[in-house]
Structure 1
């Protein structure tokens, strides 16, 4: 039973080829390309409105140097939201439930922000390892703790996204299985369980969007510390 619950998080294969590659390329085929026309359709208008609002909220605290990362982080946000939402469809696979994939998203961008900070503003970036006014006796221990917290950031990003999506998918499968087995025995209870399942699915849609937003927001905060 436990093995069947976690089978949904295994990367499917077809003829020995991992289908996760197809899942990673699929989101870019679903979004319309920007148009140079004055009049565009409603889909592009909504897409542009969402992207503009995201850029205003996330990049307003950053200076002009930080705003150069807008294209990268916005593309990552749209990519993660699409992967998370597509994983809620029946008979699909959610690539973002794999910790290795989430680390592959988080580590390069986090490392790029750290390297940029050490290269252009080394004293400002290293100053985060030692808060002002720290007692002399606590300086060595605090530097070690802050250094560990710095290097654990990409792992925390990957684990947060993986754990939230995995927990939601498992809960949906458990409740759906309960409703299926209760239907021939207790139809009223099965109907109540199905209603709970619908509400949980709506909540999981919100979680899929929010977790992608939090993932990119934290990366922008790491960028803010080094720009």
Structure 2
């Protein structure tokens, strides 16, 4: 029997200060009817590499084209899939909640339903990876929209790291990282109804290959 070769995608978003993962209900065996990660087979005639397969699966099943898609790792063995010996390459993506369509359901990462295969283990590992990288990179910015204020970005970092961050120190670290640029003429009402400047990631930091990794 041939090895089953698939990709799975952990799609994370942030809702009311809580990390959530997008799942969809399986419509075929095995584990029909259970919530699961978006995943699918690698197509040798369509996919140049596993990342292309993950991007294709995300677009088809979740309606998402993510600006950030990173490989997490592989999970393999004879016991993870009742259909036979299988290997899956896991990717993860971070997106604002507004881009998710109706084909998926969001669940808080700390309160997941029963999941098939080794999806609970995969999600736990990805969440730990994201929280670790959030401590030294611009990664959490992908959970914001295209434009955001510094206090909004600060709140996202605090939510991902699950700990408070001193705002003045956070602003200084952002300056050191050099990842943001002002959106010319764009403001948003902030505290005490004062206008706050809107920012966005600089163009060179808007992809998985250019996440700035310095202490934050």
Q: Same fold (TM over 0.5)?
A: no
Q: TM-score, normalised by structure 2?
A: 0.28
Kindly indicate which of the two structures has a greater share of residues assigned to strand: 2
Kindly indicate which of the two structures has a greater share of residues assigned to helix: 1
Structure with max Cα Rg: 1
Q: TM-score, normalised by structure 1?
A: 0.27
